[in-house]
Amino acid sequence: MLSANYQVTVNHGWQGWVRNAVTRYLHKLGREIQSDMERMAPVRTGRLRAGLYHEVNRGQLRVGVRNVPYWSTVEFGSGPHEIRPVTKKALYWPGARHPVNRVFHPGTPAQPFIRPALYKRRGML
């Protein structure tokens, strides 16, 4: 009589190996997304570009902008709005003929840089 025996041994360190592989993949993906965001972001002072980051923590990848409160206006634009003084009685800027109580801003067109970087097809990393 013929018989066959098979034995499967699971490496007990497989969970750590998978965790490390996922972390490496997420870091690589984060670097690519951040690089695309830096390339697509409009530059006037460089503050927006300097605030871009990516981080990996416990299997989660985060990409975004730190310490730049106007990032959403750049990404999504703004509609027409009125600007009024907050701490003074009037607004004035170099080149203005006289101080004014309010200014009507026509709005700002969107210049998306985060969403296109996230939506870009990455293929095989």
Residue numbers of the domain that contains 87: 14-119
pLDDT of residue 54: 96
Q: What is the DSSP string of 48-117?
A: HHHTEEEEEETTEEEEEE-S-TTHHHHHH-B--EEE--SSSSSB--TT-SS-BS-EEE--B-----HHHH
Residue 21 lies in a domain: yes
In a domain, 111, yes or no: yes
Q: Report yes or no on 124 lying in a domain.
A: no
78 exposure class (CB count in 10 Å sphere: 0-12, 13-18, 19+) = middle
In this prediction, residue 125 carries a pLDDT of 62
**Reported pTM:** 0.78
Residue 4 lies in a domain: no
Q: Is the dihedral of CA 55, 73, 48, 88 positive or negative?
A: negative
pLDDT tens over the chain, length 125 residues: 677 888 877 788 888 888 999 999 999 999 999 999 999 999 999 999 999 999 999 899 999 999 999 999 999 999 999 999 999 899 999 999 999 999 999 999 999 999 999 998 877 66
Q: Which residues contact 84 (CB under 8 A, 6 or more apart)?
A: 91, 101, 102
Asked whether residue 7 is assigned to any structural domain, the reply reads: no
Number of domains within the chain: 1
Does residue 2 lie in a domain region? no
Position 5 in a domain? no
Q: For residue 123, what are the contacts with CB-CB under 8 A and spacing of at least 6?
A: none
Asked whether residue 110 is assigned to any structural domain, the reply reads yes
